Amino acid sequence: MAGREFKLVFAGSMGAGKTTAIAAISEIPPIRTDVHNTDVRSHSKATTTTAMDYGEVTLDSGDKLRLYGTPGQTRFDFMWRILAKGAIGVVLLVDNSRPDPLSDVHAYLDAFRETVSSSRAVIGIGRTETHPEPGLDAYYALADEYGISVPIVSVDVRRREDVLLLLNVLFSQIEASLETEEQGAMA
């Protein structure tokens, strides 16, 4: 009998580290769909993901955790919503060295509002050591504008322990949410 499948989404702008983060935890070499980057004015990468990154983790029950990285360009935002449907949660990665990272987050909070509002998201801010502004307070202020509570953490997804930290924070939130519901049901 086929095992169950679960989905985890990694979102963020081009160069934010989605592919790197998936590679850090996937048990298979991630499948990447790269083409030549035609938008070098806004980013200097030679290639960029125009479809999705994919990785997977096999659970002890034989079930699969499928890892999806969204394309970074906003013209693919319709795919972000599709991928978010039924996902356990979303890891939103931000490149703090971009010209306007707060606007990047603004776009993703719009696209993943339901997921973020239901405590199934975490935001990881990268490159804060070389680009300390905007600070985490600015991102929290943006989340406050949306009326949502979301954990925001400085990370370097080239380090596997930082990717695991993001997932630990994400799962801890979901677990706390389940605990609250159980307590409510017992009351």
Partner 1 sequence: MEVARADPSMLAVSCQRTVTTIGLPARKEQLIRSMLLAVNARTTDRWTFADGLEADVAICDVDSRLAAVAVARQERDGRPHCVWLAGDTAEAPIGPRLEDPIGSSSLIALLESVSTTLRRRPAPAATSAPVAPPVVAADAGVGGRTALDVALMLRDLLLHGSSDTFQITAGALQLRVVPSRRAVRASQPLTDDYLARLLDPAANGGRIERLAEPDRALTLLHAPSDVETLWRAGLVAGGDALAAPLHADAPIGLARWPDFGRLPHAPAHVQMAARLSRRPHRVEELVTAVGRPAREVRAFVNACVLCGLVSPQLAASREPRPTATAAATARPAYIGMGILRSIRTALGLGGL
Applying CB under 8 A, the residues found at the interface with partner 1 are 4, 6, 25, 41-43, 57-61, 63, 65, 86-88, 99-103, 106, 114-115, 117-120, 124-125, 131-134, 136-138, 140, 142, 147-149, 151-156, 162, 164-165, 167-169, 171-181
Instruction: Select 29 or 99, whichever has its Cβ closest to partner 1.
Output: 99
Q: How far is the CB of 82 from partner 1 (least distance, A)?
A: 15
Half-sphere exposure of 88 (CA within 13 A, CB side): 21
Cis status of the peptide bond prior to 101, with omega within 30 of 0: no
Q: How far is the CB of 53 from partner 1 (least distance, A)?
A: 17
Q: How far is the CB of 52 from partner 1 (least distance, A)?
A: 20
Residue closer to partner 1 by CB (options 33, 106) is 106
Residues pairing with 10 in the sheet: 69, 91
Nearer to partner 1, 16 or 169 (CB): 169
| Residue 180 CB, nearest approach to partner 1 (Å) | 6
Find all residues with CB under 8 Å of 12, minimum gap 6, and list them.
18, 70, 72, 92, 93, 94, 95, 104, 108
Residues 174 and 137 sit within 8 Å (Cβ to Cβ)? no
CA distance 138 to 176: 26
Query: 45: which strand partners?
Result: none
